[in-house]
Amino acid sequence: MHRLLSGLHRGGGVPSVPAPPVSGASQEEIRRQNLGAVLRYVHVHGPTSRAELTARLGLNRSTIGALAADLAAAGLVTEEPPATVRRAGRPSLVVSPRTRVYAQALSIEPDRLRAARIGLGGRILDLRETDRDAGASALDAVAPLAALTEEMTRAVEPDAVRAGVAVAVTDTSRDRDGRVRIGGPDEALRAALDAAFAAGPAVLAGDLADIAGLAEHVRGVAAGVDDLVYLHGGAGVSAGIIIGGRLVMGHGGRSGKVGHMVVNPGGLPCECGSRGCWQTEIGEAALLRHAGRDPGSPDGVREVLCAAAAGDPVARAAVERVADWLGFGVANLVNVVNPDTVVFGGSLRDVYTAGADTVRRRLDELALPVSREHVQLRPAALGRDAALIGAAELAFAHLLADPLNVGNPA
Amino acid sequence: MHRLLSGLHRGGGVPSVPAPPVSGASQEEIRRQNLGAVLRYVHVHGPTSRAELTARLGLNRSTIGALAADLAAAGLVTEEPPATVRRAGRPSLVVSPRTRVYAQALSIEPDRLRAARIGLGGRILDLRETDRDAGASALDAVAPLAALTEEMTRAVEPDAVRAGVAVAVTDTSRDRDGRVRIGGPDEALRAALDAAFAAGPAVLAGDLADIAGLAEHVRGVAAGVDDLVYLHGGAGVSAGIIIGGRLVMGHGGRSGKVGHMVVNPGGLPCECGSRGCWQTEIGEAALLRHAGRDPGSPDGVREVLCAAAAGDPVARAAVERVADWLGFGVANLVNVVNPDTVVFGGSLRDVYTAGADTVRRRLDELALPVSREHVQLRPAALGRDAALIGAAELAFAHLLADPLNVGNPA
């Protein structure tokens, strides 16, 4: 299931249709692909006139008209005259996604469990959350998430249709040797999710940084950018890597564990059992340690950043030191995967913003000119909701691949 | 042009057909895709019976028969009864690629220029090479490569058809600050290649490690493996990264500059202007330095490896030290891109073979268990010819996408 991620979004903001099976595309298959292309376009770009769809998708006018009418008849879009008519002649109808069709997006975050209903078109319609107990496993999250979902589902309009369910997972556990196992979604979790959300297609699950990166790629600061690294900072650090418009998943979907790239041999021991991992230098604990604060303080990172902004020299030095190591690791990633854009999310968003000059200087010092000259460094745009927004994109995948095969009302 | 690489080989040894344009696949387009699928199958897997093609490609028997007949009529394949008939009944005809159709594969290597004619099916039919002057630019290589090609072309059968031309390029130059610019194929080189090889489709160019990695993925030690890192060692170190069956190209095709990943802050200065880059620890010069040899010695690497194998303690220690750093950087790559297999090519092939236990031990010490447990470490299978074999795959791309639109006899 997880592997589905890799085929979802090619070609930037307008993901192309999936390759047909070698067994040959039938007329029915072609129609399905074209319906998907129209629906996906308005889902990503919002209300769009038939004329613009004709231009963007390279289909002829009458084909677009027929496809839009079919999508409207299925209750997936509305077609209405534009609010303001600019010139003479019959105006082109505007095709808009209908939010009665929604995705159930879930996230298992280190300290919170969150659930959202997100409408076709990407708007958050409802969002509920609850604390997550320290030490709880990802499996423990399934029942509370199901309860939040049930609460929300009771409040929906009678004609609402749930297109799918997807969950972004951050999951860390320890193996028998005490080393951290970065689990992400495993088989037991998948089975529990499938059982808890029995109605509809299988529940899709993915790594939190991958899914948040996907969200920034489809709707965030990297919309339209095909080659990006999204860095997510929290207690640990991980990345969603999208190259050529596709998530770089790796064998078993475990790529992007960049927090455990060793940058400082002989540095501090890491919870993974190794030493000098990048997250020992740029994780939240490192910032707090350098600033002389309690590493367990829940608001510690914000406090250090505020103190640095207010001119506190110790806090400022702590931010600079973390920014320096941040630039160091970014340089390595730039040399290895050659992104166009690096996006900083989670707590690294604010660390980057506070130390942007230092990050850039270190990057310029260490990375190859051909690889770093064009690199854009950007704070994430979607904030805490990125994982939910990305999960919704996953959950809509089935619908966008085959729009007329919609599920039953939730 | 370079970007074409990323769409070439999905789905392991049997690359799938390219996604159709959103404008909708016609019957003609579907036929083209199916012809491409059959031709690609026999090109990668060798002679295959119609019955097996039917099973492998999921097309029905009569469709396979018609497609194979069309390919035979175009002179791209032969169809013959199997040499030995195993059971009663009409034997299924065996479809074989015809080597009259060939790719012109070229490589610009640090010390050599090489040119090969490689037949459909992947066999090297002719191979010629010449020394490359130290300090010569990639542009300087075009005329000698054109001369080698002309020599070869004069020797071909009259009915031979050149399907395309592609070149694998390693290119390093210095910018005004004396820092190394890792160029790869640039616009001037492309223009010169297009002018020198005017007949036929545009000349495709790519980075040597990317192309050698592609070759190992299609026909080498990683055939059928979708997630691999191919490491190429020489004076420098670079990688071809294939994830989900696709080359990870990056913005501008510059990914895989792993030799400039900093692994040892405060280590030795690197020719790129940085310090402690991976290639300062695992490049050929590092091995020679540790072994107390002249870093410029042309056979130095082989001599050190032989001495180590013969029990020379200095040479052995040098190999161990390089193997240790090799495992260190591999651990970082395993954490970042999560390959299934890491392939060691160029001079790293022999270094890996000599120090395999050390590489593995260091990898196991540093990489996350979930990422490294299943990783296979493998010496490259295709040796020096990998770049030429990979370039031929590029050169065949046009033909495999649209088999009946073959070029004119060369």
Helix, strand, or coil (residue A69):
helix
Count of structural domains, chain A: 3
Same domain, B117 and B177: yes
Examine residue A406 and state whether it is found in any structural domain, yes or no: no
List beta partners, residue B106. Answer: B115, B167
Cα B261 to its chain centre, rounded Å, is 22
Same-domain check for residues A116 and A207: yes
Which of A6, A23, A336 lies closest to B336 in CB terms? A336
Q: Which residue of B has its CA nearest to A331?
A: B261
**What number of other Cβ atoms are within 10 A of residue B351's Cβ?**
27
Same domain flag for A74 and A202: no
- Is 90 exceeded by the pLDDT of residue A330? yes
Are A294 and A342 contained in the same domain? yes
Residues spanned by the domain of A244: 225-380
- The secondary element (H helix, E strand) that includes residue A72 is helix A61-73
Question: Tokens standing for B35?
Answer: 């012809």
Q: Which residues of B touch A252 (CB under 8 A)?
A: 338, 370, 374
Q: Which of B246, B337, B338 sits opposite A244 (nearest CB)?
A: B246
CA distance A96 to chain B (A): 20
Query: Of the candidates A58, A84, A110, which is a domain's last residue?
Result: A84
Q: Is A183 in Cβ contact with B370 (below 8 Å)?
A: yes
Domain boundary among A84, A111, A126: A84
**What does the DSSP 8-state code read for residue A4?**
G
A260 at B interface, C-beta within 8 A:
yes
A245-266 pLDDT, tens digit each: 999 989 888 899 999 999 999 9
Give kind and range of the element (H or E) at residue A302: helix A300-309
- The helix/strand/coil state of A282 is helix
A230 located within any domain: yes
Are the CB atoms for A177 and B365 separated by under 8 Å? Answer: no
Helix (H) or strand (E) holding A124: strand A124-131
Q: For residue B218, is it within any domain?
A: no
User: In a structure prediction context, what are the per-residue pLDDT tens digits for chain B, which is 410 residues long?
Assistant: 333 343 333 222 222 223 333 344 567 778 898 999 999 999 999 999 999 999 999 889 999 999 999 999 999 999 999 877 666 677 889 999 999 999 999 999 888 999 999 999 999 999 999 998 877 788 889 999 999 999 999 999 999 999 999 999 886 655 555 555 565 567 788 888 888 987 666 788 888 999 999 999 999 999 989 999 999 998 889 999 999 999 998 988 889 999 999 999 999 999 888 999 999 999 999 999 999 998 877 789 999 999 999 999 999 999 999 999 999 999 999 999 999 999 999 999 999 999 999 999 999 999 998 899 999 999 999 999 999 999 999 999 889 999 998 654 43
Tokens of A261: 């790239």
State whether A247 and A358 are in the same domain.
yes
The β-bridge partners of A169 are A108, A207
Q: Is A1 helix (H, G, I), strand (E, B) or coil?
A: coil
Q: Are residues B236 and B372 in the same domain?
A: yes
Q: Classify burial at A88, counting beta carbons within 10 Å of its beta carbon; exposed 0-12, middle 13-18, buried 19 or more.
A: exposed
User: Are B241 and B366 members of one domain?
Assistant: yes
What pLDDT does A253 receive?
84
Same domain, B169 and B207: yes
Cα separation, A393 vs A374, whole angstroms? 28
Q: pLDDT tens digits for A95-119?
A: 999 999 999 999 998 889 999 999 9
- A336 with B257: Cβ contact below 8 A: yes
- Predicted confidence (pLDDT) at residue A182 exceeds the cutoff of 80: no
HSE-CB of B1 using CA atoms within 13 angstroms = 21
Q: Does the distance separating the beta carbons of B257 and A368 come in below 8 Å?
A: yes
Give the HSE-up count for residue A208: Cα atoms under 13 Å, Cβ half-sphere: 27
Interchain proximity A365–B59, CB inside 8 Å: no
Give Dmax (Cα) for chain B: 75
Whether the CB-CB separation of A373 and A344 falls below 8 Å is answered with no
CA–chain centroid gap for A181, Å, is 22
Together in a domain, B125 and B261: no
Within a domain: B406: no
* Domain of residue A156, CATH code: 3.30.420.40
User: In terms of C-beta density within 10 A (0-12 exposed, 13-18 middle, 19 or more buried), how is residue A168 classed?
Assistant: buried
Tokens 């089935």 -> residue: A398
Q: Which amino acid is at A194?
A: D
Residue B149 located in a structural domain = yes
- The CA distance from B117 to B69, in Å, is 26
Give A 31-60 residues with CB within 8 A of chain B: 33-34, 37, 57-59
For chain A, say whether B336 makes contact (Cβ under 8 Å). Answer: yes
Q: Which residues of A touch B257 (CB under 8 A)?
A: 335-336, 338, 368, 371
| Distant-in-sequence, close-in-space partners of B258: CB < 8 Å, separation ≥ 6 | A335, A336, B231, B237, B238, B239, B278, B329, B333
CA-based nearest residue in chain A for residue B244: A250
- Its ipTM equals 0.85
Facing B25 at nearest CB: one of A18, A25, A337: A25
Confidence of residue A10 (pLDDT cuts 50, 70, 90): very low
pLDDT of residue B160: 94
Domain co-membership, B136 together with B54: no
Read off the DSSP letter of residue A101: E
State which H helix or E strand residue A216 sits in: helix A208-219
Assess contact for B298 and B284: CB atoms under 8 A: no
B186 occurs within a structural domain: yes
CA distances, B251 to each of A101, A245, A335 (Å): 36, 11, 11
B374 contacts A252? CB cut-off 8 A: yes
Residue A220, H or E segment: none
- Answer yes or no: do B338 and A252 touch at CB < 8 A: yes
Q: Which residue of A has its CA nearest to B362?
A: A274
More confident residue, B372 or A90: B372
Asked if the model's pLDDT at residue A11 lies above 50, the reply is no
Give a yes or no: residue B392 inside a domain: yes
Q: Is the pLDDT of residue A176 over 70?
A: no
Q: Are residues B72 and B153 in the same domain?
A: no
CB contact under 8 A, B257 and A338: yes
Nearest chain A alpha carbon to B14:
A22
Q: Domain containing A23 — which CATH number?
A: 1.10.10
For residues B237 and B339, membership in a common domain is answered with: yes
* Residue A194: both structure tokens together: 């499938």
B265: which chain A residues are within 8 Å (Cβ-Cβ)? 263-264, 328
Asked if residue B269 is part of any domain, the answer here is: yes
